Amino acid sequence: MIRRIIRIDKEKCNGCGACADACHEGAIDIINGKAELVREHFCDGLGDCLPECPTGAISFEEREAPEYDEEAVKEAQKKISAKNQAISAHTGCPGSRIMQIQRTETPETDQSPSTGSQISRLRNWPVQIKLAPVHAPYFSGAKLLIAADCTAYAYAGFHQDFMRNKVTLIGCPKLDQVDYTEKLTAIIQQNDIQSVTILRMEVPCCGGLEMAAKKAL
């Protein structure tokens, strides 16, 4: 159907995320440092995001687009609300409390040096596979990195070269003495995971992590 819907000018967009925060329907995501209308059927065409944009990158247009799906929006909002309640209701160890760390995505072509002065690329907590809740909000639409514990110590550019723009999970089958297959399968199947990267050492004990991750796909 032809209807009014927002248009985002990526040349003007600075990736600040104000529009995504203002969109109560959740139609906008920040991808590779730019705002994108990723759920057209979530956009009601009212434009709550327009006045929030500091660069004037958002406007209206009339074009072919899926009909606004109010029921789908309400269902998505219920899931977000349930996840937020789970976060606020946490009463266990503070070290395992869910945290989603907002960071601006950087282009994959960014060739910043892997050594020298660096910034953290951590986007989520907890990072241990066995501690991460299956429905943690940071898994929604995530690019997932599944890494062996030792890799961060063995590779100096771990944050810049592997963690950048990804949600990170770490584990060691030898130390945890557990098969991660069931947990990883649940995380991948029950969330909108965009991609999975597996990072391991060459030692045999890391094979269990790689095998569990591949079985979960």
| Predicted confidence (pLDDT) per residue in 56-112, tens digit | 999 999 999 999 999 988 888 887 776 666 555 555 666 666 677 766 666 665 555
Task: Find the Cα–Cα–Cα–Cα dihedral 57, 58, 59, 62, rounded to 10°.
Answer: 120
β-strands 195-199, 143-148: how paired?
Answer: parallel
Per the listing, tokens 């690329």 go with: 121
Residue 114 pLDDT more than 50? no
Q: How much of the chain exceeds pLDDT 90, in percent?
A: 49
Query: Which amino acid is present at 135?
Result: H
Q: Which of 20-29, 157-166, 199-208 has the lowest mean pLDDT?
A: 20-29
Cα of 131 vs its chain's centroid, Å:
17
> Using 50, 70 and 90 to split pLDDT, how confident is the model at 20?
confident
Calculate the alpha carbon distances from 105 to 33, 36, 37 in Å. Answer: 5, 13, 16
Distances (CA, A) of 159 to 167, 192, 207: 11, 23, 22
The residues pairing with 22 across neighbouring beta strands, listed in sequence order, are none
Q: Give 65-72's long-range contacts (Cβ < 8 A, gap of 24+).
A: 65/1, 65/2, 65/3, 65/5, 65/40, 66/1, 66/40, 66/41, 67/1, 67/3, 67/41, 68/3, 68/41, 68/42, 68/43, 68/44, 69/41, 69/42, 70/44, 72/41, 72/42
Q: How far apart are CA 83 and CA 91, in angstroms?
A: 15
pLDDT band at 33 (very low <50, low <70, confident <90, very high): confident
Cβ-count burial 200-213 (b if 16+ within 10 Å, e if not): bbeeeebebbeebb
Mean pLDDT of 184-196: 93
* pLDDT tens-digit map of 121-143: 999 999 999 999 998 889 988 99
Domains of the chain: 2-64 (3.30.70.20), 92-216 (no CATH)
Give the percent of the chain with pLDDT over 70: 84
For the chain, give the mean pLDDT: 85
Please, what is the end-to-end C-alpha distance for the chain in angstroms? 36
Average pLDDT over residues 34-62: 90
Place of tokens 């730019």: 34
C-beta of residue 184 within 8 angstroms of C-beta of residue 129: yes
